[in-house]
Structure 1
Amino acid sequence: MSQRGFDLTQLRTFVAVAESGGVSAGAERVFLSQSSVSEQLKKLEERAGQPLFVRGRQGVHPTPAGERLLEHARRIIAMSEAAFDDLQGRSLDGELRIAITDYYRPHDIARILKTFSEQHPRLKLHVTVLPSTVIDSGADDHASFDIGLSARFMPAPTRARSGGRATSTVVRREKLLWASAADTGSRPDAPYRLVLLPTTCQLQRFVVKLLDEHKVPYVVSHSASGVAGLQLALKAGLGISCLNESSLGDGVVACAANVGLPALPAIEFHLLPPRAGESELVSNARAALMRLFA
């Protein structure tokens, strides 16, 4: 009888390529050469008996069969890692509270947290979306959350923790971009119509300050309560705004470089460092989340 099933290494490579959108980027994630990745994908497609990717100038995209396998592959990998952690005595059992900025990979975060839950089925997860300033200010507040992920601008220095303790860990860097509706057609005219979040959002305060410093004329055309609302307002053509690269989505694109808006810095996503007296559960969870967030 022929063996049924898939090779776990090939599935890991397949997921890396599918999530990064290209063989080259996927190869970097799994620390293999492009030729090795291509060979693994070829063997996986032969095993599946059908194409798993559509290849083009813009990278690779899963076929319908590839999309189905992607869901299975993520669960298989999660279960494999959960089994390994369990046998190593690192299985997470208890309750964990996470505070996260809604700028962090808004199109992917649900999948990331789902993967984390599947890897640790005995863990009860509580997730709260908060402004980065609130997350940073609550870093020492044990009553609010156990682990925090916030956003900060470069080249602003990493804020040191009091008492000489460790600084936060950068898990991701992205470009900040001026964004507008994909079907705007022509360059926006001054005064620019701005779509903003409340003043509690440090990114929106930064945008207003930047435009004022460069004497760029603008009017606030819409105020959204969160990143999802801001994306909808941009898609509806209500104005322009500043977003990190992973927050762009269907119907929202980066403005052309010559529209007369000032240059933007990069943004970093920081995983807050351990607190004094942190439990083993939280420490192990932080290490597991760091691998997924990176």
Structure 2
Amino acid sequence: MLLDIDQLRTLVAFADAGSCKGAAHLVHKTPSAVSVHLAKLAASLERPLLERQGRRLVLTHDGTELVRYARRMLALQSEALAHFRAPEFGGTLRVGLPDDYIPVLMAPLLAALARLAPRAHVEVQCAPSAELRPLLADGQLDLAILSAETDTQEGVVLRTERVVWTASAQHDVAHADCLPLALFPEGCIFRKWALAQLRKRRREHRIVCTSRSMAAVQAAVRTGFAVSVVAESCVPPDAVVLTPQQGFPALPAVTIILAASPATDAALAQRLGEQMRGPLRRVRG
């Protein structure tokens, strides 16, 4: 009996996403194709891997155990491929990512690059996603971590997380007659979503701080200078999430992707993404 590596990849995606629909997004398949992969894997082992809990499908004990082995097998496959293809990834590898994702994504990215492209010299450029996309398209970057809407077909999906309103826990700025905002520059999807919701509800507001730096935006929040909109993993520890019950409407989720330039082997992005997802599962958000 041989285990199919693509089916194992689908199983890991199900474990990470928690549903067939979410797994389909991660592995770029339809939900029905995900179901077929999982059924074939269960049949080859002659063990049930999924069971129903109410309306949800969850992993059985055997399914959870197999996920542990599958992660190791996928990591070993990536390392083997990297070993034999390492010359392709020598030289300088230019990587872009938004400033706000440095605390969450930088360490997993560098750890994955150390395993998969050990000969590469890594140059990191930090800028908003809206600025990184044209650099990637023009070949001025080899890889980029980008924010995207959840229905994106772009790149390799690393994670999806909530986008939330956040404010200081020590100040009552959220109830100001004219809501002060600290936002990223034009082109940021968080800015677009926040302003659209406020205009829709005719909530008076003004932008009091604009910055490309997450540290600057977080400082504006923590001091009570402004309210902001960030990915949940970027909420400062001494800040709170504002809810619809407090008058702050729910915002769309954001998908974080790893994309390659037209001249970069897409397989490198795929393998890096697989290596990064494990550590990212443990991150809040």
> Does 1:113 pair with 2:109?
yes
What is the TM-score with the length of structure 2 in the denominator? Answer: 0.62
Provide closer, same or farther for how the CA distance between residues 267 and 137 of structure 1 changes in structure 2, counting only shifts above 3 A.
same
Paired residue secondary structure (1:261): coil
Provide closer, same or farther for how the CA distance between residues 107 and 33 of structure 1 changes in structure 2, counting only shifts above 3 A.
farther
Cα distance in 2 for partners of 1:185, 1:203 equals 22
Task: Identify unmatched segments of 5+ residues in structure 1.
Answer: 1-19, 21-30, 41-76, 160-166
Matches within 5 A, 1:1-294: 33=61, 84-85=79-80, 88-91=83-86, 92-104=89-101, 106-119=102-115, 120-142=117-139, 144-154=140-150, 157-158=151-152, 167-184=154-171, 188-272=175-259, 275=262, 278-279=263-264, 282-294=265-277
Paired letter, 2:270:
A
Paired residue secondary structure (2:132): helix
Cα distance in 1 for partners of 2:216, 2:267 equals 34
Provide closer, same or farther for how the CA distance between residues 146 and 248 of structure 1 changes in structure 2, counting only shifts above 3 A.
same
Cα distance in 2 for partners of 1:212, 1:258 equals 18
Cα distance in 2 for partners of 1:125, 1:82 equals 23
Paired residue secondary structure (1:145): coil
Cα distance in 2 for partners of 1:32, 1:95 equals 44
Cα distance in 2 for partners of 1:117, 1:139 equals 18
Q: Deviations over 1:207-229 (max 9, x none)?
A: 22331122111122323332221
Cα distance in 1 for partners of 2:157, 2:79 equals 26
Provide closer, same or farther for how the CA distance between residues 273 and 211 of structure 1 changes in structure 2, counting only shifts above 3 A.
same
User: 1 or 2, which has the higher helix percentage?
Assistant: 2
Q: Deviations over 1:116-172 (max 9, x none)?
A: 343243211111122222233344211x10112211234xx536xxxxxxx433221
Aligned residue in 2 for 1:48? none
Provide closer, same or farther for how the CA distance between residues 286 and 35 of structure 1 changes in structure 2, counting only shifts above 3 A.
closer
Provide closer, same or farther for how the CA distance between residues 84 and 271 of structure 1 changes in structure 2, counting only shifts above 3 A.
closer
Paired letter, 1:267:
V
Paired residue secondary structure (2:206): strand
Task: Identify unmatched segments of 5+ residues in structure 2.
Answer: 1-15, 17-58, 278-285
Assess if the C-alpha contact under 8 Å between 2:167 and 2:241 holds in 1.
yes
Structure 1 residue 84 displacement after superposition? 4.5
Paired letter, 1:101:
P
Cα distance in 1 for partners of 2:156, 2:77 equals 24
Assess if the C-alpha contact under 8 Å between 2:129 and 2:188 holds in 1.
yes
Paired letter, 1:97:
R
Paired residue secondary structure (2:162): strand
Paired residue secondary structure (2:84): coil
Cα distance in 1 for partners of 2:82, 2:276 equals 24
Assess if the C-alpha contact under 8 Å between 1:102 and 1:227 holds in 2.
yes
Assess if the C-alpha contact under 8 Å between 1:103 and 1:151 holds in 2.
no
Paired letter, 1:287:
Q
Assess if the C-alpha contact under 8 Å between 1:180 and 1:255 holds in 2.
yes
Assess if the C-alpha contact under 8 Å between 2:220 and 2:226 holds in 1.
yes
Query: How many residue pairs are counted as aligned between the two chains?
Result: 211
